[in-house]
């Protein structure tokens, strides 16, 4: 059994094509090639823990992931996310590898899924990118978007002005022209590619300023009580796209919009079906599209496979145990 720490995981992922891995994962999922049980969830006063697990039938391994989020940690100078992945053999059930990723792999695969959604659903051209939130995911989403759009004009909003200033400073040498805004409503009024990355429990902006042709990737709402988008936003959308319809019936923006009667189940498609060409994504530049990213275990399976492949090439491991 191998144990890989965060430094070794990052090394193993160098040069890996995360977007291709996410494409394959979503395609496999929507074609029924995966077993992905409902999310295990522990909600506490100060934080939350998610347990995601599953397999792709025919793969050599299956996976169990534990990932936590404690938003108050930022006030303590600690990371807000943590976690690990356990990789087991599908043949024997033996534990093969422990990935001590500290939440990094969850963040990377989520950001890659956001970029993938933009590849299939964003308008051409992207005139301005709007980012709501200033945390780790807000940073990773913008970095991953470089692979799918040449747009470097960005508006960013965050509740904490100091964090927003730090966000802008971090990207000042990356050719981005980033402007902070005090009112989140400015983002739908001026941006046609929007990414929401907060832990909000109430909508961040209304539908009234939403421009025709806008694509929105909603990242933050991964539990039933979170919500970043007004249900009217999904009601206006020409395409409402889920990472997993089954999962989005229980959590995320789609769950909230269905509960409010703003959309119907038949209005939803899965991104895996768009990737495979079974259904259409964006068909004109004036359509409004929404991708609801709740995070599916197959994403973890595919990024873990990249780590295992990369670590085999580098020979990296923190320890090897008899098992």
Query: 3-state SS string over the chain?
Result: CEEECHHHHHHHHCCCCHHHHHHHHHHHHHCCCEECCCCEEEECCCCEEEEEEEEECCCCEEEEEEEEECHHHHHHCCCCEEEEEEEEECCCCCEEEEECCCCHHHHHHHHHHHHHHHHHHCCCCCCCEEEECCCHHHHHHHHHHCCCCCCCEEEEECCCHHHHHHHHHHCCCCCCEEEECCCCCHHHHHCCEEEECCCCCCCCECCCCCCCCCEEEECCCCCCCCCCECHHHHHHCCEEEECCHHHHCCCHHHHHHHHHCCCCHHHEEEHHHHHCCCCCCCCCCCCCEEEECCCCHHHHHHHHHHHHHHHHHHCCCCEECCC
Q: What is the average per-residue pLDDT within 119-128?
A: 97
Residue spans of the domains in the chain: they are 2-105+298-320, 112-295
Cα–Cα distance, 284 to 258 (Å, whole number): 25
pLDDT higher than 60, residue 316 = no
Catalytic residues: 65
Backbone angles phi, psi at 137, to 5 degrees: -65, -35
Model confidence pLDDT, tens digit, residues 170-220: 998 888 999 999 999 999 999 999 999 999 999 999 999 999 999 999 999
User: What pLDDT is stored for residue 323 in this prediction?
Assistant: 31
Q: What is the average per-residue pLDDT within 18-43?
A: 97
Instruction: Tell me the percentage of the chain whose pLDDT exceeds 70.
Output: 97
User: What pLDDT is stored for residue 321 in this prediction?
Assistant: 35
Whole-number mean pLDDT of the chain? 94
Q: What is the average per-residue pLDDT within 102-120?
A: 97
User: What pLDDT is stored for residue 315 in this prediction?
Assistant: 61
Model confidence pLDDT, tens digit, residues 47-85: 999 999 999 999 999 999 999 999 889 889 898 899 999
Report the predicted TM-score, pTM, of the whole model to 2 decimal places. Answer: 0.94
Q: What is the average per-residue pLDDT within 225-249?
A: 97
CATH architecture of 2-105+298-320: 2-Layer Sandwich (3.30)
Determine the CATH number of domain 112-295: 3.40.50.720
Res. 314 pLDDT band, cuts 50 70 90: low
């Amino acid at each position: 059994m191998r144990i890989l720490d965060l430094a070794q995981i990052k090394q193993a992922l160098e040069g890996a094509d995360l977007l291709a891995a996410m494409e394959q994962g979503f395609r496999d999922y929507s074609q029924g090639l995966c077993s992905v049980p409902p999310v295990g969830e522990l909600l506490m006063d100060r934080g939350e823990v998610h347990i995601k697990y599953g397999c792709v039938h025919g793969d050599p391994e299956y996976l169990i992931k534990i990932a936590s989020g404690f938003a108050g940690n930022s006030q303590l100078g600690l990371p807000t996310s943590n976690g690990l992945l356990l990789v087991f053999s599908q043949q024997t059930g033996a534990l093969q590898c422990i990935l001590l990723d500290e939440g990094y792999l969850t963040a990377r695969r989520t950001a890659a899924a956001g970029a993938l959604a933009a590849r299939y659903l964003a308008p051409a051209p992207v005139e301005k990118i709007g980012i709501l939130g200033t945390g780790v995911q807000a940073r990773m989403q913008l970095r991953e978007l470089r692979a799918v759009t040449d747009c470097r004009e960005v508006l960013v909003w965050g509740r904490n002005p100091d964090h927003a200033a730090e966000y802008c400073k971090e990207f000042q040498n990356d050719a981005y022209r980033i402007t902070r805004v005090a009112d989140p409503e400015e983002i739908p009024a001026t941006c046609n590619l929007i990414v929401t990355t907060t832990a909000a429990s109430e909508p961040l902006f209304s539908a009234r300023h939403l421009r025709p042709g806008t694509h929105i990737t909603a990242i933050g709402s991964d539990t039933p009580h979170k919500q970043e988008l007004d249900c009217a936003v999904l009601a206006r959308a020409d395409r409402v796209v889920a990472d997993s319809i089954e999962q989005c019936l229980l959590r995320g923006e789609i769950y909230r919009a269905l509960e409010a009667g703003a959309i119907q189940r038949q209005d939803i498609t899965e991104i895996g079906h768009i990737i495979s060409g079974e259904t259409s994504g964006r068909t004109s530049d004036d359509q409004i599209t929404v991708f609801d990213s709740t995070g599916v275990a197959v994403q973890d399976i595919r990024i873990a496979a990249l780590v295992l492949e990369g670590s085999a090439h580098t020979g990296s491991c923190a320890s090897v145990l008899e098992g």
